[in-house]
Structure formats: C-alpha cells, structure tokens
A and B are shown apart, each in its own frame.
Chain A
Amino acid sequence: MALPKYTEIRYRVWHYIYLTFCAGVFIFLIAPLFVIFPLSFNAEEFLVFSEGMKSLDPDAFSLRWYEDMVYGTKNPWGLAAKNSFIIAIFATLGSIVLGTTAALGLSSRHMPYKGLIMATLISPMIVPLIISGVAIFFFMAKVGLAATHTGIVLAHIILGTPFVVITVTATLTGFDHSVTRAASSLGSDPVNTFMKITLPLILPGVISGGLFAFVTSFDEVVVVLFLAGLENTTIPIQMWTGLREQLSPTILAVATCLIVLSTLILVTAELLRRRSERIRGININ
C-alpha cells in the first residue's frame, strides 16, 4: 500500500507508525512458535539458547530429544500419540455424521424452532470448557464411561459437532436445492441423491468442519483431564503434566511435531475454503 505522492508529511509519519505497529503485532503472533524450533534441537538440557547455538556451532545441535521422544523408556509419548489419534479420528467421524445430518435438517426451510435448536446444538462451543468438563464428567461417571476411550470419544463428539454444524450450514446457505429436486424427479431415492448430488457439493464444508473437530479433539485437555485414567493418556495430557512439573526439551520436540501437524492442517483448511468458495461461485477477489 504505497501512499500517493501528495500525502502530507504528518500522514506519512502516521502511516509508518501504523505499519511498524502492525509488523510488531505479526511478530508477537508468530514469533513464539519459532522459538520452539531451534531449542528442540538443543544438545543441552537447558531451555535457553546456549553460546554454541548462538554461534551456530554444529555440536550445539542434536536430535537427542527427538530420539528421547520416540525411544525414551520412561516416555509415554507413544501411547499418548496412539490414544490421541484413535480418539480424534473416532470423534471426528462421529462429529461429521451427527453434525452433517443435523445441518441438513437445520438448513431446510421447514425446520420448526430453528433458533432454539441451533442455540442448543452450538452451546458446547459457547459454554466455558471447564463447565462442559464438569457436566460431562458427571454424566460419564454415572453411566460408567469415565476413564474409557468411549467416554472421551463421546465427550469430544459433543465438543466437535458445533464446528461441523456451523461450517456445513454455512456451505448449505449457497446450496441450490433445485438440483436435489431434479435428482428426485429423475427417480433417485433420497440416499442416492445425498450421496451423488448433495455430499459432493457440500464436501468442502464437511471436511473443514471435520478438521475443526479433529483439532478440537486432538488439542483438548480440560475435559480429558477430568475423564482420562492412566490408560487413556493423550498428548495434551502428557504436555500438561510435563509443563506443570518440568519443562523438558522432549516436550519441545513434541511441540515441534505438533506445529508441523498444524501447518499441514492449516494448508488443507485453506485449500478447502478456496475450493468451496469457487464451487459456490463466490469470487475470492
């Protein structure tokens, strides 16, 4: 955003102050993530940049914390990663199925009490997590699902569905319902119409909602802290315990892996969003 040549000097000054401030905020947002990278390759046990690292001495860097993460005998990261992925995948599938069907119903103009039902469906997103955690814990304890994978998966479905409902409903607002009517008039049954016509059109919304649900589950710690037993430990729980007790470089190695994962998810989500906008005929520019 170049300024026009005739701009007065005081507005020029203002403009540069504004740009500097923006640059500062962007650094504030992104820089913390990049501190973790180099420190996770630290050869020493301390979480500060050693003299060797500052002078880029190759001996000051090592992969020992990554080895510790994978092979460390005392480290429960393997089990935690396995649990996290299993729980997140099932929670995502559950959220997608329940959320998409509900969104289909909600976008129908025949839906009665739309506002009230929508408010109920997205309430887990608005209610503070600590309250959801307490409530869900009481329920799971009552039905005997506390400290089980099933219980945690169900809890994460509760937390994940609002995202799917919102993204799919948003995709459906631009949806041309005459295509489904056309399919029906050509003799297709509702299930076939959904699979062949509706689903491919709303798929970007479904997947990006699913990504939100996946990240919610994969990153969720408040509710899991109430629900999980020793067997159900997840990556967030291990990180939480680790951060409370002793901030070890192994945690930074795990954190680096998580940042890489979130970068992948971000790229996927962005690509999907653009694709969805293109399909729905919304011009990006």
Chain B
Amino acid sequence: MSSETQKILTTDGIPLEESLKKAEKKNKIKAFLLVCPLLLFLIITYVFPIGDMLFRSVDDRMVTNMLPKTYKAMENWDGKELPEEEVFASFYQDYKLLIEQKTFGKLATQLNYEKNGFKSILKKLQRKMKKFEDGNYKEQIMDVHKRWANVEYWRAIKRRAPEISYAKYLKGMDLIADEDGKIIQVSEERRIHRILWLRTLEVAFFVTLFCFVMAYPIAHLLATLPMKYSNLLMICVLLPFWTSLLVRTASWMILLQQQGVVNDFFVWIGLVTDDNRPEMMYNKTGTYVAMTQILLPFMVLPLYSVMKTISPSLMRAGKSLGGTPFVAFWKVYFPLTIPGIGAGCLLVFILAIGYYITPALVGGASGTLISNQIAFHMKSTLDWSFASAMGLMLLVGVLAIYWVYNKLVGVDNIKLG
C-alpha cells in the first residue's frame, strides 16, 4: 500500500494535514496582523527612542567632529612628549574653522569638562590667532600661553578622540577615568549621585515596607467582611486610586505644612508646643508620608484579590486542629497570601523607584530622588546624554526587578482593580 492512499483528503482533493496547516498558518497571520498596528506604533515611538537614549548616552562625536584634522594628525602621536608641528598646524586649521563658524565656544566647554583651564587658553588663542603668521604654528601657539606647552593638555584633547565614551555612566556612579585611563572616585565634594541612588533605594524600600504593613490588615479586613460593608470600605481604597496624583500631593502639602492640620492636631493633643512645630514637609518625612499614601492602593488591590480566593474554612480547619489563631494564621493563611505580597511589593517598589512628582513637590532638597536628577539634567543643564545614561541605569534596575517578578509571580497575574 502506498502512503498516498492513507492520506485523508478534503473535498478539494488536498490532503487534510496540509489543509489544516494552511488554516493554522492563516490564523497565525491573522492574529499577528491584529497585533501589528500597536506593536509597530510602540516600536517606532517607544522602543526605538529608548534605543536612541542608549546611543545618545555613549555618543561622544561632538569633539571628534569639531577637530577632524587634529585627530588625524594625532594618530601617530604616542602621547609622551609634546606633539609634532603637524598636530599644532592641524589644530590651528580646525580651530580657525570653528571660529569662522562661531562654534568654538562649544569646544571650550567640552574640553573644559575634560581638563580645567581649557576655556581661558582657548579664548586667548582665539584673540592672538588673528596675528599668526604662516608656518611654525607649534612655536606660535606655545607662545600664547604656557599651558599650550604642557603635554597634559594635548593628552586631554587626545582622550576625547574615541567616538564612544562611557564617561557619563561613570559620572552617574561618581566615578571618573583619570589621565591614565584608570577609574577612580571623583573628589569628595562632587560625590552626589551615589547618595541619590542609595536614597532612592532606601525610600523605595521603606515606602514598600510601610505600604505592606498598612495594606495587609486592611486587605484582610476587606476580604473577610460581608460584601455590603467591604464594598463601602473599598471606596476608601479606590477613590484615592482614581484621584489625580497632583491633587493628593496638594492635600499632603496642606496637611503637612507648619500651620497645617497635622501640626494643629499635634499641638492640640499636646505632643508639641505651638512655637515648636516640627518641619514635616520639604524633607524625607514628607516624601515618605505622601508616597506611602499615594502608593498604598497598589499594594491593597493585589493583596485583596489573592485573599479573596482563600476560603475561610481553611483558617477554621487550622484552629480546629489545635492551632491558636496566631499559629493558624502564620502556618495556613500567610503562606497562601505570598503571591499577593510578591505582586504588591514589587509593583510598589517599581513605582516608587521611578517616582518624580511627589518628591519634587514635598521632598525639598533632602527628599529628591534619582528621577528628579534626570529631570534636572533634561530641563536645566541640558546634558541630555547624562540624563539618558542615568535613565538607562535606572531602567536596567527596574527591568532586573521586573524579571525577578516575572520568575516569581508571572506577568500575567497583573490585575487592575
């Protein structure tokens, strides 16, 4: 018997297997086409721009493009002694072009980042260069200022030659590559970023902890109360959840100010005297209090949805088998709520670690977090490559947490309300 006769054919005479495969493939394409518009939209407007951030954060072609001839001439220079006449001549030509294009100021700023003292000698060179004679540029440039005869400055220029630089990432961790390329810590008074990273982690950790401690009992209460009461109390959780973040921050600003309701209350119950009202805003306290209240619903909701599925008879069984209520809770109920705890904690932690608005408004100087620093560099210093680098460092952290979350709980378990 040949294999041909064994195949089941459809009415069209095509083998059923093939026909099914075809249908399957068609369905696959259909499903994919439905997802396509959103996927393409997000890839173009969102995924690529994040990739663009990566590119910006390491892109260091600005100086390279401004001094093309100099870098070409520097290729053979070993960096030990002062460079040859050729390098000086090329530098003269590059710089002259920059002066004509009126972009020499940018070069001064960039080189000054690399080594202090460049700004003044470049300005001086610009003034003196008008009187330069052709030939022997090495002598003429070195005569402008004694720093031009210092090999350190030429090494600093050479260090900016590569088109890719990790300097921004190092800066984000308060590190810097010294003149020999060795990575060292920046001077004491400039170490600000590490403090910010640690503070961000600290705030995110404690806010998560506070949220957990407050959310667990109320989620339990909501899950065990009869429906008509729990629905009413659920409003207390859902109304803040749906209310504008700025409205909630504003209400905390009113509550926590020195003449505010909370301080009035403390004075009234005699905790503090009227002329000794504590400062509760524009510091870490304000950030903690406001962020805990704002993120609390994100902890309550996942916990509630898990607790809702736990049958009360389990606790009763635990107790009837001789456990005290505490033992029954700890051995039976608590382990069952762990998926909810995981979901809630990671959700709150991820949200807290990237928080920006509330710390900026109630945090003051000691309550600002890494996001505020990113926004500061985006809007004020316009050091976009540094903002990108820090943003990506934060993103890597968040993705790592997200990965753990996915392993432990599963992304599919995200529930909204």
Given the interface pairs A98-B38, A108-B27, A130-B371, the reply to whether A219 lies near B50 with Cβ below 8 Å is: no
Evaluate contact between B375 and A130: CB separation under 8 angstroms.
yes
Q: Within 8 Å CB of B87, what residues of A?
A: none
B239 CB, min distance to chain A CBs, angstroms: 6
Give the residues in chain A near B53, CB-CB below 8 Å: 131, 134-135, 138
Contact of A219 among B33, B246, B398 (CB under 8 A): B246
Complex contact B37–A49 (CB within 8 A): no
Q: Which of A72-80, A178-186, A239-247 contacts B (4 or more CB under 8 A)?
A: A239-247
Q: Does A13 reach chain B (CB closer than 8 Å)?
A: no
A71 at the interface (CB under 8 A from B): no
Q: CA separation between A161 and B34, bound complex, in Å?
A: 14
Compute how far the CA of A259 lies from the CA of B254 in the bound complex, rounded to whole angstroms: 16
- Determine whether the beta carbon of A102 is less than 8 Å from that of B38: yes
The answer to whether B261 touches A49, judged by C-beta atoms less than 8 angstroms apart, is yes
B393-417 toward A: CB 8 Å interface, digit per residue (1/0)?
A: 0110010001000000001101111
* Residues 295-311 (chain B) with a chain A CB within 8 angstroms: 296-297
Interface-side segment among B76-84, B176-184, B221-229? B221-229
- The chain B residue with its CB closest to the CB of A284 is B227
Interface residue B108 (Cβ < 8 Å from any Cβ of A):
no
Interchain CB contact under 8 A, B34 and A247: no
Say yes or no: is B32 at the interface (Cβ < 8 Å to chain A): yes
**Separation of A132 and B47 alpha carbons in the complex (Å):** 10
Contacts of B27 in A (CB 8 A): 108, 110
Q: State the CA gap A124–B39 with chains docked (Å).
A: 12
Q: Which of A22, A154, A226, A251 has the most CB of B within 10 A?
A: A22
Instruction: Give Cα distance in the complex from A20 to B333, angstroms.
Output: 21
Q: Choose among A35, A117, A285 the residue that contacts B39 (Cβ–Cβ < 8 A).
A: A117
Chain B CB within 8 A of A265 CB: yes
Task: Verify B233–A26 contact, CB threshold 8 A.
Answer: yes
How far, in Å, is B48 (CB) from chain A's closest CB?
Answer: 7
Output the least CB separation between A159 and chain B (Å).
Answer: 9
From B56, B221, B254, B391, A130 is in contact (CB under 8 Å) with: B391
Known A-B contacts A22-B217, A117-B35, A134-B378; the reply to A36 vs B251 at CB < 8 A is yes
A102-B38, A104-B34 known; A139+B250 contact, CB < 8 A: no
Q: Does B115 contact A (CB under 8 A)?
A: no
Query: Which residues of A86-127 are within 8 A (CB) of B?
Result: 98-99, 101-102, 104-106, 108, 110-112, 117-124, 126-127
Question: In the assembled complex, how far is the CB of residue A30 from the closest CB belonging to chain B, in whole angstroms?
Answer: 4
Q: Does A207 contact B (CB under 8 A)?
A: no
A130-B374, A135-B46, A269-B417 given; A101·B217 CB < 8 A: no
| Distance, CA A21 to CA B220, complexed state (A) | 12
Number of interface residues of B (CB under 8 A): 92
Q: With A29-B240, A239-B246 known to touch, is A35 a contact of B255 (CB < 8 Å)?
A: yes
Question: CB distance B374 to A105 under 8 Å?
Answer: no
Residues of A within 8 A of B97 (CB): none
Contact B411 A118 (CB under 8 A): yes
Residues of B within 8 A of A259 (CB): 239, 243, 247
The answer to whether B247 and A255 touch across the interface, beta carbons within 8 angstroms, is: yes
Residue of A28, A106, A219 touching B214 (CB-CB under 8 A): A28
A222 touching B39, Cβ below 8 Å: no
Contact assessment for A265 and B242 in the assembled complex, using a CB-CB cutoff below 8 Å:
yes
User: Is the pair A138, B31 in contact by a Cβ cutoff of 8 Å?
Assistant: no
Distance, CA A98 to CA B226, complexed state (A):
39
A191 within 8 A of B: no
Q: Which chain B residues numbered 256 to 309 have a C-beta less than 8 Å away from chain A?
A: 257, 259-261, 264, 293, 296-297
B52 at the interface (CB under 8 A from A): yes
Contact call B260/A166, Cβ cutoff below 8 A: no
CB of B252 closer than 8 Å to a CB of A:
yes
**Chain B residues near A139 (CB-CB < 8 A):** 44-46, 48-49, 52
CA distance A184 to B259 in the complex (A): 68
Q: Could you tell me if A33 and B32 are in contact, using CB atoms closer than 8 angstroms? A: no
Contacts of B32 in A (CB 8 A): 105, 111-112
Binds A, one of B135-143, B150-158, B350-358: B350-358
List the A residue with the shortest CB-CB distance to B374: A130
> Closest Cβ of chain A: how far from B311's Cβ, in Å?
14
In residues 167-211 of chain A, which contact B (Cβ within 8 Å)? 167, 170, 208
- Asked whether any CB of chain B lies closer than 8 Å to the CB of A279, the reply is no
Point out the residue from A48, A222, A243 that lies within 8 Å of B253, measured CB to CB. Answer: A243
14 further contact pairs, Cβ within 8 A, besides A139-B46, A158-B42, A225-B375 = A28-B214, A30-B236, A32-B240, A98-B41, A110-B30, A112-B32, A117-B39, A121-B39, A128-B371, A134-B53, A158-B45, A252-B254, A255-B244, A255-B250
Give 7 closest A-B pairs by Cβ, nearest first: A128-B354, A105-B34, A108-B31, A105-B35, A135-B49, A32-B251, A102-B38
